[in-house]
Structure 1
Amino acid sequence: MSADPRPVDTPADPHLAIVGAGPAGLAAALAAAARGVRVTVIDSAAQAGGQFYRQPAQELGARRPQALHHQWRTWERLRDGLADHLATGRVTHLTSHQVWFVERQSKIFTVHALTGPEQRDPATVRADAVLLATGGYEKVLPFPGWTLPGVLTAGGAQAMLKSGLVLPGRTAVVAGTGPLLLPVAVGLAAAGARVAALVESADPKAFTSRAPRLAAHPDKLAEAAQYAAALLTHRIPVRAHHTVIAAHGTDRLEAVTVAALDADGRVRPGTERRIPCDTLAVGHGLLPHTDLAETLGCRVDDGGVSVDEGQRTDVPGVWTAGESTGIGGSTLSLAEGHIAGRSAAARLRGTEPDPASWAAAARARDRLRRFFATIDSVYAPPAHWAEQITDDTVVCRCEEVPAAAIREALDELGAGDVRTVKLPTRAGMGWCQGKMCGPAVAALAGGEQRPAKRPFACPVPLGVLARAGEQEAAAEH
């Protein structure tokens, strides 16, 4: 289904545009539609669900897709609720629409998207308010050999299983840090891969010191225990407080070298061990997608987009929920989405939002935020990981910029931060616009990565921009 690129008259019912059809976006859509708001959900995927509930292509005829997921009953409720609202016309779901820009003119928002076979055809949606449920993306830190075929992100390996029903390889190492590594390792093993090691850089002692705060969430502890049991069942060796320091191979990945970390986060000499494998699934946590919120002028801090108790941003008419406000998992995203949908619906219907109406969801949200703040303090990349980046290690994959060029810009050309490094090296100027290499460039420059304000959320063909300018000029006359 494609949006009509021509402006249309707004019907009597207020219209809410939701960007993203993951847990937060779907929960918000159901909550808003149930309260008399017309909703358009715009998503880049071919099916609803987002990354967490990613579905296999219908052509694959998966018999038991639930085997690749947990919280499947929650997904069924979301899926069936969406189907009901689609049938009544209360909700419109635009699939395969990549949103690249949202603009606010007076009290009307225009969502600009790309669609078509190669996502080069323009489409627009006009609405009275916008709710951004844009999720997050993986943080991957470079190391020697990370560009070899066979090295992929942890989320990428999981996506191959969920959407393509294929294994990325036969013998895998899962490495990095963060809760995502557990379901990835267990999922690969359950699908038939041999997982040679789960390499986690976090120090187990850090969990012990935070035990009282973690004990306040018995459901999360039970989930962790289930994963621990699954690791034992599949005989997956766990190397805690270790890290991958290099990947090896000629034409593709053949092995990785892992090593233990000391108390300061440095590699302990003499602990290196080589593990043969054909797949390395590596990830170091997630970062929030904030591009669209930033272009609208929403306040963004290090954790994500800032919101109030009703998930409203500081820009009138803009709400956001899920990983875009801070990384916290699907349950937190569902709670935030439910609150945002109810809050937006009340405002659009001309009534004052009543926090009591979402009190249960708010309690769950606040508890989960505290829990994940504790988790984030444990799951952090090794403090001195950048010391393992050799001069010939490619840091910016899009522009093929090695670490040597970045160090030269810093040491000899006078560059002092990510922005000034970009000018002589082109690091961060490629297709991903610095999403992949940003943390590494910032670390080499000796600073923290800051959200980069970009005019568009993704690359846009010049022809689309030209046509948009012509339409705007025609409208003014």
Structure 2
Amino acid sequence: MTSRHVVVVGAGPAGLAAAEAALGAGARVTLIDAAEQPGGQYHRMLPEAYHATRPEVLQHGWSAFDRRRRRVLAHPRCAWWPEASVWALERPDPEHPGPPRVHVLRGQADGGERRRTTLDPDALVLAVGAHDRVLPFPGWELPGVFTAGAAQALAKGERVVVGDRVVVAGTGPFLLPVAASLLEAGSEVLEVLEANTARTVARGWSRRPWQLAAQVGKGGELAEYTALLVRHRVPYRLGRTVIEARGDGRVEEVVTARLRTDWSVVPGSERTAAVDAVCVTHGFSPQLELPVAAGCALRTTPGGEFVAVDDDQATDCPGVYAAGEITGIAGAPAARAEGALAGWLAAAGDPGTPALRALRRSRDQGRAFAERLARAHPIGAAWPAWLRPGTVVCRCEEADYASIRRAAVDRASTGARVAKLETRAGLGPCQARVCGPTVAELNARLAGEPVGRPAEGLPAPTPHRRPIAQPIRLGELAAAPEPPPRPPTPSDSPPPSPR
């Protein structure tokens, strides 16, 4: 019998685990990722040309990851497609339900020799991850203001420091590994600022404390990061954040302030610090373009909007599974468990395999952790008070707060599409990936509507609906796609259980 062909999009912790499990179930696997090496942001690797002698220095769980990476990439039934991006998913004929056709561009994103091809898998696993969400503040468009993820990627993936004197600010545990990466790369981190107050953080993390026993590994990571900050004498301050960046041509100083529980500024608490870089993150936004293109339903949670999956990680789109941060921000261990579940079942592995019980337990513990994370590190409702009329909200199109406010109160611009055309917010190169959630929230607040819900009588906005999910040149679009390479030949070895 011919083995199933499983396409896995994304080679981070979830995608790599999905590929390994699908191979273990006897499937042929095509693993696709935009990076040169697997690992995602969590296990971002230095380029091979660096000849790193100790790649594990900036990594947690490196040994297990390295073993999994080598097993997957060396497997005879695995086709590894690095520097490849899925630019579209084509839904099948409704009368013949199944996973969508996968349109792929292979080659360096800035190169001129990219090749277009298509894949028709028996099952599709989406593990495309998330990116930083950053709330706007005066001066955030200045050079030297980085998302925390970008700063960490440069430090871990290139050994490049974004600045000599850096402030790390925002909310969530991700602030700690970012600061650690900067310190290890040679930056001086002046302070780490958590916007939520000690009371909010403590209330979120202390609820049902016995559940934290399942997160022993995260406790070890926290201890390591804390020790590193203490060793470098980096203060960690709760209830304070960056509310303004200043500089002539690039950031030269930041204004920080103490915040109340709702993130309103405490008058008189402002303080100025000289910096040459600032790294900011206010949580994560899942990359939902491909799940939406496939037709997957979404669910709304206190932590944001995510792909809806069942107990098997299957979406409501036949043959499509989802794993990792697009189903909830729960950390790498939960992402690996979700990926292994999705990969094994996408490959038609035995659903009664005992190992699946442990995977589901780890997945469920991760989901509980995600709920705790959302409670302990919420985004305060009063953050728009930081903004001024001239504050840039959409950096691509330089749309400012004043223009968004005018469109929100103008009844003729009530429709989301009309408001977008009037302000141009979301029409730039990022196609609202960065500013979209912020503009939607500002519009709701200014219109007096509940945040996260469409205005009465209007259709729900679909900011993730993009027929073309990734940039593609017109010449590439016009060229005939190459036939897909011959899939790997199945092995006769018996399948092991998922891990």
CA distance in 1 between counterparts of 2:284 and 2:462 reads: 14
Q: Hey, what does 2:46 align to over in structure 1?
A: 56
Structure 1's 417 and 171: CA in aligned 2 closer, same or farther, altered over 3 A? farther
Question: Which blocks of at least 5 consecutive residues in structure 2 are unaligned?
Answer: 446-450, 454-460, 484-499
Amino acid at match of 1:241: G
Question: Which blocks of at least 5 consecutive residues in structure 1 are unaligned?
Answer: 1-10, 472-477
State the number of aligned residues.
454
Give TM-score, length-normalised by structure 2: 0.86
Bigger mean CA offset, 458-467 vs 299-308: 458-467
1:278 aligns with 2:272: no
Instruction: For 1:87-166, list aligned pairs within 5 A.
Output: 89-105=76-92, 106=96, 107=98, 109-117=100-108, 118=110, 120-166=114-160
SS at match of 2:173: coil
Instruction: For 1:451-470, list aligned pairs within 5 A.
Output: 451-452=462-463, 453-467=465-479
SS at match of 2:412: coil
SS at match of 1:414: helix
Q: Hey, what does 1:80 align to over in structure 2?
A: 70
Q: Hey, what does 2:457 align to over in structure 1?
A: none
Bigger mean CA offset, 356-365 vs 458-467: 458-467
SS at match of 2:17: helix
Bigger mean CA offset, 121-130 vs 191-200: 121-130
The answer as to whether partners of 2:146 and 2:278 remain within 8 angstroms in 1 is yes
Amino acid at match of 1:342: W
The answer as to whether partners of 2:245 and 2:254 remain within 8 angstroms in 1 is yes
Amino acid at match of 1:67: V
1:23 aligns with 2:9: no
Q: Hey, what does 2:363 align to over in structure 1?
A: 365
Q: Hey, what does 1:307 align to over in structure 2?
A: 309
Deviation at 1:186, TM superposition (A): 1.9
RMSD of aligned alpha carbons: 2.1
1:250-295 alpha-carbon deviations (Å, 9 max, x no partner): 0211110000012332000100000111110101111111111111
Structure 1's 183 and 459: CA in aligned 2 closer, same or farther, altered over 3 A? same
CA distance in 1 between counterparts of 2:83 and 2:480 reads: 20
Q: Which has the higher contact order (CA 8 A, sep 6+)?
A: 2
The answer as to whether partners of 2:313 and 2:322 remain within 8 angstroms in 1 is yes
Q: Hey, what does 1:7 align to over in structure 2?
A: none
CA distance in 2 between counterparts of 1:141 and 1:331 reads: 28
Bigger mean CA offset, 284-293 vs 459-468: 459-468
Bigger mean CA offset, 198-207 vs 276-285: 198-207
Instruction: For 1:33-432, list aligned pairs within 5 A.
Output: 33-85=23-75, 89-105=76-92, 106=96, 107=98, 109-117=100-108, 118=110, 120-209=114-203, 210-218=205-213, 219=216, 220-302=218-300, 303-346=305-348, 353-354=351-352, 356-412=354-410, 414-416=412-414, 418-432=416-430
Bigger mean CA offset, 170-179 vs 96-105: 96-105
CA distance in 2 between counterparts of 1:420 and 1:214 reads: 48
CA distance in 2 between counterparts of 1:167 and 1:62 reads: 17
CA distance in 2 between counterparts of 1:458 and 1:418 reads: 22
SS at match of 2:166: strand
SS at match of 2:432: coil
SS at match of 2:470: coil
The answer as to whether partners of 1:418 and 1:441 remain within 8 angstroms in 2 is no
Structure 1's 296 and 385: CA in aligned 2 closer, same or farther, altered over 3 A? same
CA distance in 1 between counterparts of 2:14 and 2:123 reads: 16
CA distance in 1 between counterparts of 2:99 and 2:154 reads: 39
Deviation at 1:140, TM superposition (A): 0.9
Q: Hey, what does 2:437 align to over in structure 1?
A: 439
1:346-402 alpha-carbon deviations (Å, 9 max, x no partner): 26xxx6x33644000110110111012111111122321111111111111111211
Give the share of equivalent positions with the same residue, in percent. 43
CA distance in 1 between counterparts of 2:482 and 2:219 reads: 57
The answer as to whether partners of 1:172 and 1:280 remain within 8 angstroms in 2 is yes
Deviation at 1:418, TM superposition (A): 4.2
Bigger mean CA offset, 196-205 vs 70-79: 70-79
Deviation at 1:433, TM superposition (A): 0.9
Give TM-score, length-normalised by structure 1: 0.90
Deviation at 1:208, TM superposition (A): 2.9
Deviation at 1:163, TM superposition (A): 1.0
Structure 1's 174 and 193: CA in aligned 2 closer, same or farther, altered over 3 A? same
